[in-house]
Amino acid sequence: MALDSDSYDYIHFNETQSSETEYDIKISELHYPAAVNSLVFLISLPANSFLLWVLRTERAWKITSDILLLQLTVSNLCFTVTLPFAACNALHRWVFGEWACGVGTGIYFLGLFTAVVILTAMFLHYYVTVVQPWCLSAQALGKYGVLIGSIVMWVVCAAASIKLAVSGRVIEIADLKVCVNLVESLTMKLTEIYTQIFLFFLIPVLITSFCYVHMWIMAKQGRINSQQLPSKLILGVTVSTFLCLAPYSIHMFIQSLLLLDFYEYTHELIYAWFVIHPITHIYCCFIPLVHLIGVQRFRRYLPMPCSTLSLCRDETKTDSPMALIPLQNAEEI
């Protein structure tokens, strides 16, 4: 939620040069991230809440795929509740105080980090289910494995987000208070950037890519059925999430080069940041919408008119081709 303090250097420079017209242009351009954040919030909050209600109604805490999806929904809601504050902050009007800035920043990054890790865990579980199903044969092992893995995942992501929450500061630019992620030490700033890039982007991308390529090779060799390859839903959710995060990670890497004086900060990079940053938020509304529309078990809860014949036909269908992890392959824990 808190934007990087470097993103305001150009605005601050214009203000110190007493160029009111140029400064007003920059403020008007910040309406774009505020509008995007507001739109994502209006879609994500009801969609994720509905998905959470369905999972709670079905008591979805006995199957690993549902446990992971339940955690992903909670993660998306954590991220979503910070978007109205991010929209307010994008307009350079932070009125919630220093404490709220730190807490909001921590919740924002907690939702972002956990979503990436949970999606990776879901894809990895699918891979193990298809390629090495004997690893999931023991019910006790599956139960404790999910519990321990979930606890470790949330603790690691919480630790990383708390570190960023501590650096959340409210600064004043042109008589307007702004919540920013302010790190004074160059070493700490570079550590923060590369931790986010490697731990919460590159490593998850490499894991999911390896899993899919390995399954594809095994399908070509006839060692597994080609129908066991990840469905379009799985690939769509995973690839779309990483595509949303890719521009953000690339910009963070460029920012690290700027801090090391490899390049000079330009106006174009400032504009790119304000365009790229809101795009990162789209994933939290895309994931629940794909599940609600593409998975029959969730779609049947939607208030859509249908004939008795089609309803009976739908009830006889299995969700395994569209579910994120096939239910017949998922272990009961």
- What DSSP character marks residue 230? P
For the stretch 268-325, pLDDT in tens is 777 777 788 888 899 998 889 888 887 888 888 877 654 433 444 444 343 433 344 4
SS (H, E, C) 8-42: HHHHHHHHHCCCHHHHHHHHHHCHHHHHHHHHHHH
Mean pLDDT of 100-126: 92
pLDDT band at 45 (very low <50, low <70, confident <90, very high): very high
- Reply yes or no on whether the pLDDT at 77 is more than 90: yes
The full set of domains in the chain, from first to last, is: 3-299 (1.20.1070.10)
Q: Find where tokens 């000079």 sit.
A: 264
Q: Is the pLDDT of residue 157 over 70?
A: yes
Distances (CA, A) of 137 to 171, 278, 321: 55, 42, 22
CA 146 centroid distance within chain: 20
Strand-pair category, 168-173 with 3-4 = unpaired
Cα four-point dihedral sign 64, 70, 76, 81: negative
Other Cβ atoms within 10 Å of 174 Cβ, number: 16
Question: Does residue 305 sit in helix, strand or coil?
Answer: coil
The pTM of the full predicted model, rounded to 2 decimals, is 0.81
pLDDT at residue number 143: 63
Strands 176-181, 168-173: pairing kind: antiparallel
Phi then psi for residue 332, to 5 deg, are -85, 130
Quickly tell me which residue has 């990670």 as its tokens.
Answer: 249
pLDDT of residue 167: 85
